[in-house]
Amino acid sequence: MKICSIRNKNIRTGRLFSIAFFLFLFLGVSSSCSFNYKDSEKQQEKQPDILFSYVTLRRYTNDRRELEAKAEELEMYDSEKLWIGNAIAFTQYDLDSQKETVKGKTGLMLINEPAEEYYLGNGVFFHLIEEDYAVRSSALVWKKKEALLAAPLAETVEITQGKDISIKGKSFAANTQTKTFMFKTGTTGTIVIDEKEDSEKNN
């Protein structure tokens, strides 16, 4: 077994886990909500067209549960096609086994539907259960059209996998098509390599 320490190096990896692809799947809404049809020009500030309080969102595919998300508050701005949510927790399920595959939470979420951009802030956490991967950051943005998942330059992103991987750094960016990610600055951490397993793969 080999333990590699990492400090202040550019880090690239050939594996990226599915991260913020779940929060835009908002179907099957069950909630208490209020509707606002007032003339926006007469209001001092823009008000949401629909406001959901303590909402539970569920998505089903072929009658199989795929996603469940809960938010303390969710606002919809219909003309701009914007969604803004607070205190969101979600779970994704395997369609065949119906086991939980991903759990996560974020303090703040903004979805721009036309641009297909998803902004997460006020603390973001994702856990891929089967691989035991976890991601923590103060903020993340996913630009679907560009296949870009990134954090603000000054924000620290931490990635762990069980006891084998613990990496943190800044200037995090990932390509969600090639499933790779990298840190450019401030990288520290450790990776535990099983030399026996690595040797078997090379043979």
pLDDT, tens digit, for every residue of 173-193? 988 788 788 888 888 888 887
**Residue 151: exposed, middle, or buried by beta-carbon count in 10 A (0-12, 13-18, 19+)?**
buried
pLDDT, tens digit, for every residue of 7-27? 444 444 433 444 434 444 433
Q: What is the pLDDT of residue 200?
A: 53
DSSP 14: S
Q: What is the pLDDT of residue 178?
A: 82
Q: What is the pTM of this model?
A: 0.70
Domains of the chain: 1-17+145-203 (no CATH), 19-36+50-130 (2.60.450)
> Residue 173 region, left (φ>0) first, then alpha (ψ -120 to 50), else beta?
beta
User: Distance between CA 12 and CA 32 in Å, rounded?
Assistant: 45
pLDDT, tens digit, for every residue of 24-50? 443 333 333 444 444 544 445 678 888
DSSP 200: H
User: Distance between CA 170 and CA 190 in Å, rounded?
Assistant: 16
- CA angle in degrees (0–180, nearest 5) for 116-64-94: 70
Q: What is the pLDDT of residue 195?
A: 62
The upper half-sphere exposure of residue 155, i.e. CA atoms within 13 Å in the direction of its Cβ, equals: 19
Q: Percent of the chain scored above 90 by pLDDT?
A: 33
